[in-house]
Structure 1
Amino acid sequence: MEKRKLGFWDIWNMSFGFLGIQFGFALQGGFMSRIFQTLGAEKDAIPMLWIAAPLTGLLVQPIIGYMSDKTWSPKWGRRRPYFLVGAILSSIALLIVPHSPVLWVAAGLLWILDASINISMEPFRALVADNLPESQRSYGFVVQTLIIGIGTWVASNLPWMVSQLGVSNSAESGVIPMSVKVAFGIGAFVFLGSVLFTVFTTKEYPPENMEEFEKEKQKKNSFVKDIIDNIGSMPSTMKKLGVIQFFSWFAFFTMWSLANPALTEHVFKTPAPIESSYDLTNTDQALAFDVVNTAFQESSNSVGSAMGVYGLSSMVFALLLTFYTSKRNINRKFVHMGSLFLGGLGFLLMYYTSPENLKYCFVLIGFAWGSILSMPYAMLSSAVDPKKMGVIMGIFNMFIVIPQIIASVGGINYISGLLGDEAINAMTVAGISLIIAGLCNLLITDKNAISYQPKGN
């Protein structure tokens, strides 16, 4: 079936639900470690508390991708039912997470939140590849990245924004500040609303051969066997992209899990207070704890706001690429390589930066983030069977979650520990990892993946 080229606003509507998905991911990535620390987690234990996120992605995304490939409803389409269900569950989880009374509850709710976000996210990736002709794939994923950048910047700044409006940013020991609770509530509303917008403004193509599609659905194949078979037969380009993804996502997981303790300690000089070091029954000790804890919460807001800048710069990066790719092809390989190099430099500079200049580090990281969210998917979509787009996108997620699992079970602590005991060393490791990811782009040799090749070329 020949797919018609879509205009900017058609692609915008199709991708708008990703605004909500990114609100969920940005709030999770920017503030879950803060919630864990507020509830008493030691900084070395934080990566392990994050293990729920990649584990759920490893399990959920291939299954949802496989199921959505086998789904068709004349009214609801193929992908839309899944990201609608995921949005409802994610919004509920966002409302509950910041009200966690103890650490184990917060860790469990992270598991639920991440699983719900993953139910929504994978079908959105497949939807872009489903609805666009191959010549518009780069353009489509770049527009999606533009929306993700907007979501990252706004959501990362929400606690700071609401505190500027007078919402309290301080709280008793072990209690999440009201500014964080309000921010997560706003995120829940945006998540559901933006996904509903896409559901009601976007149509999907039916299967090309409905009779063949129905026969395929009736087969009694085990979905586990089918997923394993697809893993075994993945194309060479997908494996090479997987190596790039491994180092890229190791770096960003390191940032999400340890940027708050690393930067509040090294850049702002306001580490999280250790409650056991204070006698809270003593008035003077309790007052001293409150002073230190408030300083930590305020610098955490500043770290969150600085992190939001990477969403803003990824948005600018995506906007420039949107204008360019709407008319011309790009060399995806070299765009991705250069972007990852810039992101790696941003992480390395954190060791030397000041609170005032921290945002410039995240500007550089934003170029890497914008490219990570678009270029690998554009390259992948040009190298795989379109009938299996959902399950392939889900399997591709393995290369995202496996490095995060390795990082969470001790990889970050071990590698950064080789550089010393300071938490900031984790950001140095992230920078080195992104530079390695950039160099791995040299492995990509498929001309159609590097840049769309019209038939006959």
Structure 2
Amino acid sequence: MTKKPRLSFAQIWNMSFGFLGIQMGFALQNANTSRIFETLGADTKNLAIYWLAAPVTGLIMQPIIGYYSDRTWSARWGRRRPYFAVGAVTATIALLLMPNSPTLWMAVGVLWIMDASINITMEPFRAFVGDLLPDEQRTSGFAMQSFFIGIGALVASFMPWIFTNWLNIPNTAPDGEIPPSVKYAFYVGAIMYLITVLWTVFTTKEYPPEPDENHDAPAMEESEEGFFTKKFMKVGAILTIIGAAFSFFVYNAEIDPQLHVLGGGFMFFGLIHLLGGRLVKARKTAMALVHIVKDFNSMPKTMIQLAVVQFFSWFALFSMWIYCTPAVTSHIYGSSDTTSPIYNEGADMVSNLFGGYNGIAAIAAIFIPFIARKTSRKLTHLIALTLGGLGLISMYFVSDPQWLWASMVGVGIAWASILSVPYAILSGALPSDKMGYYMGVFNFFIVIPQIVAAALLGFILNTFFGGETIMILVTGGVSMIISGFLTLRVNDTH
């Protein structure tokens, strides 16, 4: 491999700047989607299922985009930048449409488009750091992305409040209509998304493929074909049977139908493996699906260890994103009426809190590389996730809304670490010619816990917590602390 030269601060700044706009769009989605859904008539207990767009589009789009971006090269446009540009245009359109959705079904549909577009843009950005930076600068590179993520989310999350309190734009609207302050926030976010991503596209140059990269792998030997056919078919059969049996149990036990999502997820992975096995048996081993399934079953050990860490940390985050608005408005503000001023005051508070923890993340991102060098990346991640978990748990004990800011300090530190440390550890364990694909597959371990959360949280809420949404946040806090301790099991090699 060619030794990558160290890049200047300005170069790292430019290559990361697009994340400012990406996170503005992502933050507007996270802080306001539940509010939009509830305003358009969504039942709180069904919010998790409406949010399925986020994990499902990530599950499908990121490995595909990663696979093809590894195989893309243009002397003028590079490898990853064409995907940045296409995703930015479609995400901008979706951000303009979202607050103007007249019905719930349209808002859910736009969320699918928005999430697919964000994934098209964001996935290559992760591989971008591995492509351009030497190992000793990767923690700093991902921390720079975390910095822009924090700043972008801070500004975007506060925008409805700013429009209301500084510009006197109403934050309430008639029943079934989105408040004007939310609409204007999405408009600004759409413009910033396009401008910042295009900044990175036009100011950053990419290196040509490594001399040892070989995407046109030779055909499998007959013995390999037999091995992979049996393996894919075996894994596929097991996953399909597990999924079908689980869904059959859910149906016959007449429990929460949202749990069918979990069964469907198992069957989806199973069928993909079965299809891959059939293609190998037919000697169509050059097809993209075969490469994707084969590489998925040949992940580096470090990636497998990080997958478990990611599962528990992202389960916690998804719990917070879905249920923070109903938890804060009902548990602390005492209202679930979306037309009431007190509910909208609480919803604005959640938007501000989301901005607050992202602002903390921007500051924490500056110090994470330093702390990681003085201790280790694993210990840094453990400390950050423990603080984040305690922050989520503490929200149960809050009665004065202003104390929620203290809770968000821990969440912000955890968020900065989640966005940087696992990727820095992972990038050192990946081959350069599969950097984009494996970064996309790594997203499986972000979206799978989100799918599990979408399938289980409604069931847990209604079965064990009696509809008390604040208990979902406590559950998320415990999950985040578990994630921190699991980090100590990861092999962190350079």
| TM-score using structure 1 length | 0.90
Deviation at 1:329, TM superposition (A): 6.3
Equivalent pair of 1:412/1:426 in contact (CA under 8 Å): no
Q: Secondary structure at the match of 2:178?
A: coil
Equivalent pair of 2:91/2:117 in contact (CA under 8 Å): yes
Superposition pairs of residues 51-450 of structure 1, within 5 angstroms: 51-164=52-165, 165-209=167-211, 221-273=286-338, 290=339, 292=340, 294-322=341-369, 328=373, 330-353=375-398, 354-411=400-457, 413-414=459-460, 417-444=463-490, 446-448=491-493
AA in 1 matched with 2:210: E
The alignment of Structure 1 onto Structure 2 pairs a total of residues equal to 427
Consecutive unaligned residues of structure 2, counting only runs of 5 or more, are 220-283
Q: Residue 42 of structure 1 aligns with which residue?
A: 43
- Runs of 4+ aligned structure 1 residues displaced above 6 Å come to 217-220
| TM-score using structure 2 length | 0.83
Q: Residue 283 of structure 1 aligns with which residue?
A: none
AA in 1 matched with 2:195: G
Q: Secondary structure at the match of 2:57?
A: helix
Consecutive unaligned residues of structure 1, counting only runs of 5 or more, are 274-289, 453-457
Judging changes above 3 Å, is the alpha-carbon distance between structure 1 residues 261 and 310 closer, same or farther for their aligned structure 2 residues? same
Q: Deviations over 1:162-203 (max 9, x none)?
A: 112111111110000010000000000000000010001101
Whole-Å separation in 1 of the counterparts to 2:492 and 2:404:
38
Equivalent pair of 1:70/1:217 in contact (CA under 8 Å): no
> Over aligned residues, Cα RMSD in angstroms?
1.8
Equivalent pair of 1:416/1:429 in contact (CA under 8 Å): no
AA in 2 matched with 1:245: Q
AA in 2 matched with 1:236: K
Q: Residue 12 of structure 2 aligns with which residue?
A: 11
AA in 2 matched with 1:431: G
Equivalent pair of 1:307/1:359 in contact (CA under 8 Å): no
Q: Deviations over 1:199-255 (max 9, x none)?
A: 011010101229x65856999821111111111000111111000000111111111
Equivalent pair of 2:315/2:449 in contact (CA under 8 Å): yes
Equivalent pair of 1:87/1:116 in contact (CA under 8 Å): yes
- Once the two structures are aligned, what percentage of the paired residues are identical? 49
Equivalent pair of 1:254/1:412 in contact (CA under 8 Å): no
Deviation at 1:83, TM superposition (A): 1.1
Q: Secondary structure at the match of 1:350?
A: helix
Equivalent pair of 1:265/1:271 in contact (CA under 8 Å): yes
Whole-Å separation in 2 of the counterparts to 1:261 and 1:428:
14
Whole-Å separation in 1 of the counterparts to 2:406 and 2:294:
45
Deviation at 1:417, TM superposition (A): 4.2
Whole-Å separation in 2 of the counterparts to 1:220 and 1:98:
45
Q: Deviations over 1:323-358 (max 9, x none)?
A: 667xx4651101001100000000000001120111
The answer to whether residue 27 in structure 2 is matched with residue 26 in structure 1 is yes
Equivalent pair of 2:325/2:350 in contact (CA under 8 Å): yes
Deviation at 1:270, TM superposition (A): 2.4
Equivalent pair of 1:94/1:188 in contact (CA under 8 Å): yes
Whole-Å separation in 1 of the counterparts to 2:82 and 2:375:
33
Q: Secondary structure at the match of 2:79?
A: coil
Whole-Å separation in 1 of the counterparts to 2:27 and 2:110:
16
Deviation at 1:99, TM superposition (A): 0.5
Deviation at 1:82, TM superposition (A): 0.3
Q: Secondary structure at the match of 1:371?
A: helix
Whole-Å separation in 1 of the counterparts to 2:458 and 2:417:
23
Whole-Å separation in 1 of the counterparts to 2:50 and 2:480:
23
Deviation at 1:415, TM superposition (A): 6.1
Deviation at 1:11, TM superposition (A): 0.4
Deviation at 1:421, TM superposition (A): 2.8
Q: Deviations over 1:261-296 (max 9, x none)?
A: 1111111222234xxxxxxxxxxxxxxxx5x2x321
Equivalent pair of 2:34/2:325 in contact (CA under 8 Å): yes
Equivalent pair of 2:69/2:80 in contact (CA under 8 Å): yes
Q: Secondary structure at the match of 2:401?
A: coil
Judging changes above 3 Å, is the alpha-carbon distance between structure 1 residues 19 and 416 closer, same or farther for their aligned structure 2 residues? farther
Deviation at 1:298, TM superposition (A): 2.2
